[in-house]
Every structure is written in structure tokens, then in C-alpha cells.
Amino acid sequence: MKIVMAQINPVIGDIGYNVDKMLKLVGKALEKKAHLIVFPELAVIGYPARDLLLRPEIVNRIENALRENILPASSHIGILLGAPVKDPLSERLYNSSLLFYDGSVVGRQDKMLLPNYDVFDESRYFQPAEECRPFIFQGRKLGVTICEDIWNDEDYWNHCRYETDPVKELVARGAEFIINLSASPYHFGKIKQRTDMLSAIARKHQRCVIYVNQVGGNDELIFDGSSLAFDSGGRLIRQCKSFQEDFVILDTELSCGTDLTGSITEDIGYVYNALILGIKDYMFKTGFRKAVIGLSGGIDSSVTAALAVSAIGKENVLGIAMPSRYSSQESIIDARNLARNLGIEIREIPIERVFSSYLDELNKSCDLSQDLAEENLQARIRGNILMFISNREEYLVLSTGNKSEMAVGYSTLYGDMAGGLAVLADVPKTMVYELARHVNCDQEIIPHRILIKPPSAELKPNQVDEDSLPKYEVLDKILKAYIEENRTAAEITAQGYDHSLVQEIIRRLERAEFKRHQSPPGLRVTTKAFGTGRRFPIAWRP
């Protein structure tokens, strides 16, 4: 059977756009004489559509679009796609796969396993299917699963989250192929994990596995695509591109796979490409063409600017250097050199006069100075200038703070945190350096001095980050253990860290929740990002 893996990038909510995109690919698949074309989970509305799914008009519009556009296109080809389906009797919503063929719906299988952890809220919207049965299509039995349905193999995982394994059920009911429609977001290491797991499942059940994933950035989530097909021996037959749309055809009878055992690796370039896609799609889907970034001459803003140039082109990126009385001459030169190397416009707007005018008003009856209030004020003046340029000239402000800072609150609310998208919000500082070395791998784009000088916020004389924070190598390891691995303070200490340091970092992390609550969406590239996947109260006490 000739099957097309149609790895598309839907725009959430834009049913017309998504259906048009699908119809074009159906046409292309017909030209290639494919029997079946497979689209990702919820492809018709995009993932995650969140509370849009609760709006009555959306579900009606989807029903109409499927009936009027997809159904007639299925005369000579099977179209398998993901859509939310409201059961006419119970009025309950399902996360479904629908198979259209010859002008009618010949199969519907609802998702059985609904993820409701981390960034996922599917129990908020959907009912789970109670059972799964293969579709009969052209005399073959297709076992169709949706995303999470394939992530519960009792042999692959030490701990199963759910009691049922839809794949096992489908194979028991005679499924000849396993097809999975996914919207599976990226984190560093996910592609290797997914490939290993799918290969093991194909091998175990001796079934061809065809996995079609959504691609694209949707707010904080980045879907990498990287769709895969395995033969019944678990060998890789086909692989779609990562971080872009793709259209790949395979013939289940003819394809001959490659054994991948132990050969898959992911390097920092994947994170780089993920972030590019996250920026590009956030801008495209919100309607921005141009981005502005405050360039401090530090590593975070340099990497952010390099990413922005890769995402939208140098002609659409504007850098603003905003030196203060505490900025070093080196920082300004480094920012200029970075802009020159990237080929972007840079404007210099010193903040000294504005800063002084605030201090004239605010220090009148007060002999305090150089306190935290003044440090934050400088960052907020810069935030205001960027937002002014955004408002006047229609630039999106990209904020540049990294995950390590966001974790411990080493950032200024409405200051360096201001912006529409926080590009590095889930990138620990040590990984920011890895990204910088990746940017510089062929030639020096980010001036070398930026990579070697001690990080500094330059908000008071001779300030460096390590005055207030432990070394980033240590901080990042403790943060990873706490945030990503959910370790206790005692467990982290037992890994060889100073107990009071561990406690101090956790305390700072907890106290900074009020800042993160007001931060722009941040692109997720680790297993646990701040944002919708990590929900903490603000007003609480440990």
C-alpha cells in the first residue's frame, strides 16, 4: 500500500487555511498514485487549540469544512486525519481520527489515552475512547492510534501511566499496520527517545509503524515533525525532516528498512533549529514581520539576535544598544560588532538622560541610591524603549532572558523580561553558551570576547552575575535536578552539592514565581519548562 506521510504545520483555529493546505497535499498524493494520505493529530484545528475547543462555533465550522471539502476530495484516495468530533448523542467531544474514502467516512477511532500532565490538558476537553478497533481499508486492517495511545508499551517503559495499551489491543484485533497521528512537542532528546520507542514497538509486534507528527511552533510549544516509518522488523523505512513541513511517500510492500539500533543522536543544532521555528511561527501566526532586540553585548542577547536572523532574515531584525553609566565600553563595542557580523541594523539609544530624570523625581526626599530599585529602573527604561519602538514601528520585542535567570528571579519584571516572546526562557545559561558555539562553528558571528567574559547585568559598578549567583555550571545542574527531575533538596544534596546552597536556590526559585507568572511565553526545549507545563501558586509558604 502506498501511504503518504503529510507532515503539516497548521495554524491554530484557521480551519480554512488548514483544510486548503490538506487539499493541496491530497492532490499531490493523487498524482503520486498513493492509496492513503495521513495527517497529524487534530490537524484540522492545530494543536493545542486550548479553550477554543470549548467554543461551540469552532466545532460546527470543522464539521462543515470536513463535509464540504474533505469528503468530496476522497473519491480516489483514503484521507486519514485528526479532528475534534462531537458525539451527536452525548454532545461530548473526542480527539478523533477520521478516515475518508470514496466520499464517505469509513472509519472513526477516538483517542483512548488522554494526557493530562505537564503541558497537556486533554481531560479538560475530551472524553476518552473506551475501545479501539482496526479500520478496514482496501482489504487491509489499519490500526490507528493517536499520539499518547502509542506511549504506553509495558515492555518499553518501567512504569506505565495507563492500564490499557491501545497498540496491543489493535494488534490482538488483527491490525496489519500501526499508524499514529501525533502532535508531540519537542524537547532536547525527544527525537532519539521517540525513534527508539517506535522501533521497539514495531519489532515487538512485528508490525509496520507509521508515525505522522505535526510540525510548527504554537506559542511556547515547538513541534518538530520528524515523522517516521518502520518496517515490521523495527528498521527505519522513512524519516520526514525535522522542524519543517514534509511530504514523504512509502510503499509498505516494497520498502526496505535500515537498522538504527544505537545510531541516533541529537546535538545542540536541534535545539537551535527548534528555536528558529519557534520564533518564525510565533511571528507568522501573530502577524509580525519584524523583530527588535535589546543588544547588551552579552551572550543572551547575542544568541537571541543570531536566532532571529536565522528565523526571519537580517533585514527584519533590529538591534537596540541602550548603554547606561554602568555599561562598559567593551559591551557597546561587542554589541556593534555582533550587529555588523549579523548584518542587522543597530540603533544606539543611551538611557542616561532618562535615568537621571527619573532619579531627579524619585530620589528627591531620599538619600538612598544604587539600590535594587535603581538597578531595576534601568532595565525597565530599556523595556520601555523597546516597547515604544514596537508600538510605533510594529516590531515584535524578543526578550532575551535565559532559564537559569528566570528560575532564580535574576531578572527585572517589565524590564529585561518585557517582550512578546521569550526566546531563551527554557535554555539554561550553560546551554546558551553551547548555542553560541554552534552559531560560531563556521565563522565568528558572536564576537569571541562575549563568550569568554564573565556574565554581567551591568546595572551597578563592576557587577558580575557571580556576585549574586553560584557558578552557572553548578546552578544549572541543581536546577535541572529540581525542575526537570523533580528531586527533593535532600536527594540533590546527596548528589554532592552543598545543602545550604541547594536550599537557597530552591527558595529563590519559589519566590520568583510572581515574575514568571507575568513573563511572555517562552519557547520550550527541555522536559520541563516554566509556563503552562509547570503550575505553581504565588501566595504560598514552604
SS3 of residue 291 by DSSP:
strand
Residue type at 352 in one-letter notation: E
> Taking CB under 8 A as the rule, does residue 542 contact its own copies?
yes
Known catalytic residue at 240? no
Which residue, 156 or 414, has its beta carbon nearer to its own copies? 414
> Taking CB under 8 A as the rule, does residue 534 contact its own copies?
yes
Q: Which stretch binds its own copies (CB under 8 A): 169-177, 331-339, 358-366, 437-445?
A: 358-366
Tell me the H-state helices in 120-205: 122-125, 166-172, 190-205
Smallest gap from residue 62 Cβ to its own copies (A): 13
Of residues 395, 231, 264, the one with CA closest to residue 320: 395
Q: Which stretch binds its own copies (CB under 8 A): 168-176, 198-206, 265-273, 527-535?
A: 527-535
Smallest gap from residue 330 Cβ to its own copies (A): 23
> Taking CB under 8 A as the rule, does residue 253 contact its own copies?
no
# binding residues, its own copies (CB under 8 A): 78
Phi, psi dihedral angles at 307 (to 5 degrees): -65, -45
> Taking CB under 8 A as the rule, does residue 89 contact its own copies?
no
Of residues 119, 97, 69, the one with CA closest to residue 530: 119
Contact (CB, 8 A) for 14 and 218: no
> Taking CB under 8 A as the rule, does residue 163 contact its own copies?
no
Q: What is the C-alpha to C-alpha distance for residues 364 and 343, in angstroms, rounded to an integer?
A: 44
- Select the residue interacting with its own copies from 25, 49, 73, 291 (CB under 8 A): 49
Smallest gap from residue 4 Cβ to its own copies (A): 26
> Taking CB under 8 A as the rule, does residue 538 contact its own copies?
yes
Q: Which of positions 264-293 make contact with its own copies (CB under 8 A)?
A: 281-282, 285-286
Q: What are the cell numbers at 137?
A: 481499508
Phi, psi dihedral angles at 168 (to 5 degrees): -60, -45
- Select the residue interacting with its own copies from 358, 451, 463, 497 (CB under 8 A): 358
Instruction: Indicate which residue of 21, 122, 132, 147 is catalytic.
Output: 147
Instruction: Indicate which residue of 111, 290, 480, 515 is catalytic.
Output: 111
> Taking CB under 8 A as the rule, does residue 522 contact its own copies?
no
Q: Which stretch binds its own copies (CB under 8 A): 11-19, 68-76, 268-276, 472-480?
A: 11-19
Known catalytic residue at 290? no
Known catalytic residue at 366? no
Q: What is the C-alpha to C-alpha distance for residues 227 and 154, in angstroms, rounded to an integer?
A: 23
Which residue, 40 or 447, has its beta carbon nearer to its own copies? 40
Smallest gap from residue 153 Cβ to its own copies (A): 20
421: part of which helix (H) or strand (E)? strand 421-422
Q: Which stretch binds its own copies (CB under 8 A): 116-124, 148-156, 294-302, 456-464?
A: 116-124
> Taking CB under 8 A as the rule, does residue 63 contact its own copies?
no
Smallest gap from residue 338 Cβ to its own copies (A): 22
Q: How far is CA 131 from CA 89, 148, 166, in A?
A: 18, 15, 8
Q: What residues have CB less than 8 Å from 425, skipping those under 6 apart?
A: 399, 401, 402, 403, 406, 519, 520, 521, 522, 523, 529, 530, 531
Contact (CB, 8 A) for 272 and 435: yes
Q: Which long-range contacts (CB under 8 A, 24 or more apart) does 71-74 make?
A: 71/100, 71/103, 71/104, 71/105, 72/103, 73/23, 73/26, 73/100, 74/26, 74/100, 74/101, 74/102, 74/103, 74/104
Q: What are the cell numbers at 89?
A: 448523542
> Taking CB under 8 A as the rule, does residue 541 contact its own copies?
yes
Q: Which of positions 362-421 make contact with its own copies (CB under 8 A)?
A: 362, 366, 368, 371-373, 376-377, 380-381, 383-385, 387-389, 391-392, 413-414, 418, 420
> Taking CB under 8 A as the rule, does residue 357 contact its own copies?
yes
Q: What residues have CB less than 8 Å from 239, skipping those under 6 apart?
A: 226, 227, 228, 229, 248
Which residue, 418 or 436, has its beta carbon nearer to its own copies? 418
List 98's β-bridge partners, or say none: 81, 108
List 182's β-bridge partners, or say none: 213
Task: Please tell me whether the peptide bond between 48 and the residue prior to it is cis, using omega within 30 degrees of 0.
Answer: yes
- Select the residue interacting with its own copies from 36, 175, 295, 354 (CB under 8 A): 354
> Taking CB under 8 A as the rule, does residue 93 contact its own copies?
no
Q: Which stretch binds its own copies (CB under 8 A): 136-144, 146-154, 427-435, 516-524?
A: 516-524
Q: Which stretch binds its own copies (CB under 8 A): 193-201, 253-261, 305-313, 346-354?
A: 346-354
Positions annotated as catalytic residues are 41, 111, 147
